[in-house]
Chain A
Amino acid sequence: MLRYALKRLLSLTLSLAVASVVIFAVIEVAPGDPASFMLGVNAQADTLAALRAELGLDVSKVERYFNWVGGMLVGDFGTSYTYRTPVSQMIADRLWVSLPLALYALTLSTLIAFPAGIYAAARRGKPGDVAVMGATQLGIAVPNFWFAMMLVLVFAINLRWFNAGGFAGWEDGVWTGLHSLTLPAIALALPQAAILARVMRSALLDILAEDFMRTARAKGLSRRQALWRHGVRNALIPVLTIIGLQFSFLLAGSIIIEQVFYLPGLGRLVFQAISARDLIVVESVVMLLVFAVIMVNFLVDLAYAAVDPRLRSRT
């Protein structure tokens, strides 16, 4: 087990190293100089040179790469070119919005998807199933920014139940914070719920055809009992995998929703940093997301190995 873990750890380190080179290369290759972006069209050559020196942009790219990686190894993500605040602090601030939003959306999507998927599977081919499947088709097809705009129109502009956007912060209590994240969470959750419901339904249908389900019925369980006790449980494996994927998508992929609701989250930070050529912020945030995904995979690998002895002995 230890050898297996060490081997996985080595491949994790290699993946991270390769990722850091790719991220740095891709972002640095794109045209646009951070200093000229900040100083605008009237900047003089000597002013630009002074600012480049101040930002540490006057050294070679190779040296910059090693400064960046070396800094990250000791937990220093560098200082933003434009904001002039430590990148690690900026990321931490933004996570206080993005992480709860992703969790909120995921909870909502699970709460919608599970009953819908189970209901549809239990009524395969009947009108109830057709209705749920039709609804999920619609949920996947509707762009979430359009849906977000509709939510704002109805609940913020007409009914005035919510603000049209912005984040109230956690200082005034959890409820105030959650309240201001509700519309964006719904907008994010709906398409995810549609996908998840379909996965739940098809996973359940696969299980229902298995031999052990027939055995369960033969032992005298009713359809409903067999479905709940043996079906749903086994169907959870693919569903949980999808939920895991959706979580990382929600964390990194809510850029558009954060724009529509002007939330100060991670997505908006990346968006602003890209247009301002704040390279160090973009690089560090992307690297952090890669790190998160790779770490999750590493833990999953370890968990598989712990559960399945064959994986251990094979190494």
Chain B
Amino acid sequence: MSMIEIEGLNVWFGHGPDRVDAVRGASFSVARGESFGLVGESGSGKSTILRAITGLAPDWSGRVDIDGQALAGGKRDRAFFRKVQMVFQDPYASLHPRHSVDQVLSETLHLHGIPDIDARVRSLLDDVGLGGRFRFRYPHQLSGGQRQRVAIARALAGEPEILLLDEPTSALDVSVQAEILNLLTDLRAEHGLTYLMVSHDLPVIGHMCDRLAVMKSGEIVEVMDVGALRAMRAEHEYTRDLLAASVAPGPHSA
């Protein structure tokens, strides 16, 4: 059975003449344990889909099923957040600057109603490769990669089954990006997680995902598997352009 099932999803912002349709008629499904990518340029609506799933974009219509259960409106219950968690793009903005790593994680564990917080914080930090030394540090004492590890630990706190990853490495250096992507690969294998990952970087999606959907101005233009992506077998013209922009040699001809 599919873990995420989306059919005819429309998301809009504003109303009346100011209404902007950010996502129009998007449909795809992600199997349990699969890693699914959403690619497209900025403004194509890829992050908006994640936001609609988590309830951060309350104006939507269509059908979104998470593990067989239909979502409605912009409210999500606790059970939902135990199952679905999100990692945001910018680790500099997504951590509270005056909360230590320990506070961030224990508060999350407390909210999920998980007992034995002390031991869990330690094991979470080990899980994301940080270890106990980082437990009482504040975000400004951490590098970008370390912050993103904390954000991932926070997402994992409630032992979710689905991680929504919104450009998790685009604010990071390539060397750090490799570490975070490896960590995400390991965590998926260990915990049997399902990933829905948004990125504008085709090689990153190619590395992380099994299948992907290509978006352009709010619509999904193509759903393909990674084999087709690697073989450059794109059906839609826009995907071909995107592929060309990602791998083609630049203006070095002269």
Q: Are A and B part of the same complex?
A: no
B contact residues vs A (CB 8 Å cutoff): none
